[in-house]
Amino acid sequence: KAGVTQTPRYLIKTRGQQVTLSCSPISGHRSVSWYQQTPGQGLQFLFEYFSETQRNKGNFPGRFSGRQFSNSRSEMNVSTLELGDSALYLCASSTLAAGGKVQYFGPGTRLTVT
């Protein structure tokens, strides 16, 4: 099976612009979660989608939004970019196993805001 893919891998944007990141989960996985990783804050949960519905949301401002399509692919949008939004954005698709929820991460999108 192909793993989780994220596009683009690298992105440079200017303050005030908006950006859309894409994630294709592992085939058959219906749950997709998004995380922000920074050196200072570590890995922080943004939101989770399951069957096109947002199931859970982290503590991020409304500038961060997402959606999921019927084929389980997901997009994340950040509007009015700020310097502090520079981070590695990780997508994870998940499934349930005997030991609980198992997440498989993509390689991430490195976003730099200048």
Partner 1 sequence: TQLLEQSPQFLSIQEGENLTVYCNSSSVFSSLQWYRQEPGEGPVLLVTVVTGGEVKKLKRLTFQFGDARKDSSLHITAAQPGDTGLYLCAGFGNQFYFGTGTSLTVIP
Rounded least distance, CB 46 to partner 1, Å: 10
Residue 107 touching partner 1 (CB under 8 A): yes
- Closest to 59 measured CA to CA, from 42, 46, 49: 46
Residue among 78, 81, 92, 111 that touches partner 1 (CB under 8 A): 92
Asked if residue 8 has a cis previous peptide bond (ω within 30° of 0), the answer is yes
Residue among 20, 22, 44, 86 that touches partner 1 (CB under 8 A): 44
| Helix, strand, coil percentages, rounded to 5, for the chain | 5, 60, 40
Interacting span for partner 1 (CB under 8 A) from 12-20, 61-69, 78-86, 98-106: 98-106
Please give the angle made by the CA atoms of 9, 4 and 97, to the nearest 5 degrees: 150
Interacting span for partner 1 (CB under 8 A) from 11-19, 42-50, 60-68, 69-77: 42-50
Helix ranges (H only) for 1-114 are none
Residue ranges in contact with partner 1 by CB under 8 A: 4, 33, 35, 42-45, 48, 56, 58, 90, 92, 97, 99-108
